[in-house]
Amino acid sequence: MFQNIEGVVEEQDYSKKKIKKLKIFANVFELRNIAIYVITLMVSMVGLGGDFSPFSVSIFAACFANAIPLLGVVIVTLIGTGIKFGLAGLLAYMLTSLVMIATFFIIKPRYNEEERNEKVKVAKNVFISAFLVQLAKMMMAGFTIYDFLVSITFSIVAVVFYKIFVNSLVVLQDFTEKRAFSIEEVIGSSLLIAIAVSCFGDFSIFGFGIRNILSILIVMFLGWKNGILVGTTAGVTIGVTIGIIANTEPIMIAAYAISRNGSRHTK
């Protein structure tokens, strides 16, 4: 009799584990994560002149820290990196991701409070993995002070945008839900979307650049929904970032900043 009870308990435990695994697998295709996959694909195609996009490393780590299923994120980042940067960029990104995962076993990520967006702190892992891969490439190609500084800058950029993205993904996940987001989350998500639309590059329709139009619409929408302070702050932030990515003139920063004032009369 006890053997039968033990068998039933073991069978129930096995069923629970099986159901749990199925739920974890189903979360990859959950509707609230689809927007993140689309944005991640677009972000991974935006570079700053390197072999691959530092934003792809940042959003990969941000999804890990935010408990978002990584299977879909890995697939779309590999696709985006391969399309934009070719085989060399794809291999460099894959190596960086693998080194980052390896650092999790050496430098244990610290767990944060459950209600925080950044549930696991992995900023150190992001910097170390990005820098080590850039350093290894530099050693094979030839060491120069310039390349060394570029490697450090690349790693810092990856960490900075990791911090921005990790507090922005919640807005994309819960956009359809009625809840209050902080100013940092709103501006960060707007910056994330602005970087994503930069994947269009210089593509234009009838002479109008799609990237600039969509970015200015984001700023105007923020100003319309949250006021002039948020709109202006977002305009300057997005203008500086897009200016660096697209190598545009500084006057474009002012154009993004004052675009909120243009929306003031349309509210």
State pLDDT tens for residues 72-86. 888 899 999 999 888
What is the rounded CA–CA span in Å between residue 82 and residue 100?
19
For residues 220 and 250, membership in a common domain is answered with: yes
User: Can you tell me the mean pLDDT for 194-222?
Assistant: 76
> Among the three residues 112, 133, 165, which one is the final residue of a domain in this structure?
165
Q: How confident is the model at residue 225 (pLDDT cuts 50, 70, 90)?
A: low
Give residue 94's pLDDT: 92
Higher pLDDT, 105 or 18: 105
Q: Per-residue pLDDT for 165 more than 70?
A: yes
Higher pLDDT, 39 or 7: 39
Contacts of 253 (CB under 8 A, 6+ apart): 236, 239, 240, 243
Domain membership of residue 178 (yes or no) is no
What is the rounded CA–CA span in Å between residue 91 and residue 132?
14
Q: Per-residue pLDDT for 136 more than 70?
A: yes
For residues 71 and 125, membership in a common domain is answered with: yes
Give residue 84's pLDDT: 87
Q: Per-residue pLDDT for 11 more than 70?
A: no
Q: Per-residue pLDDT for 8 more than 50?
A: no
User: Can you tell me the mean pLDDT for 78-97?
Assistant: 90
> Among the three residues 111, 135, 165, which one is the final residue of a domain in this structure?
165
For residues 93 and 147, membership in a common domain is answered with: yes
For residues 76 and 134, membership in a common domain is answered with: yes
Domain membership of residue 170 (yes or no) is no
For 243, the domain range is: 183-266
For residues 220 and 248, membership in a common domain is answered with: yes
Beta strands 120-121 and 110-111, pairing class: antiparallel
Q: How confident is the model at residue 19 (pLDDT cuts 50, 70, 90)?
A: very low
For residues 109 and 209, membership in a common domain is answered with: no
For residues 44 and 126, membership in a common domain is answered with: yes
Q: What mean pLDDT value characterizes the chain?
A: 75
For residues 16 and 148, membership in a common domain is answered with: yes
Domain membership of residue 250 (yes or no) is yes
Domain membership of residue 154 (yes or no) is yes
Higher pLDDT, 224 or 41: 41
pLDDT more than 70, % of the chain = 72
Count of structural domains within the chain: 2
Domain membership of residue 176 (yes or no) is no
For residues 93 and 225, membership in a common domain is answered with: no
Query: Both ends of the chain: CA-CA distance in Å?
Result: 74
For residues 197 and 139, membership in a common domain is answered with: no
For residues 60 and 116, membership in a common domain is answered with: yes
Residue 22: how many CB atoms within 10 A of its CB? 10
Give residue 263's pLDDT: 47
88-92, 147-151, 216-220, 247-251: which has the minimum mean pLDDT? 247-251
Q: Per-residue pLDDT for 180 more than 70?
A: no
Domain membership of residue 253 (yes or no) is yes
Domain membership of residue 246 (yes or no) is yes
Give residue 181's pLDDT: 67
> Among the three residues 104, 139, 165, which one is the final residue of a domain in this structure?
165
Q: Per-residue pLDDT for 127 more than 90?
A: yes
Q: Give the pair of three-digit tokens for residue 98.
A: 């693998």
Give residue 23's pLDDT: 45
For residues 204 and 130, membership in a common domain is answered with: no
Domain membership of residue 157 (yes or no) is yes
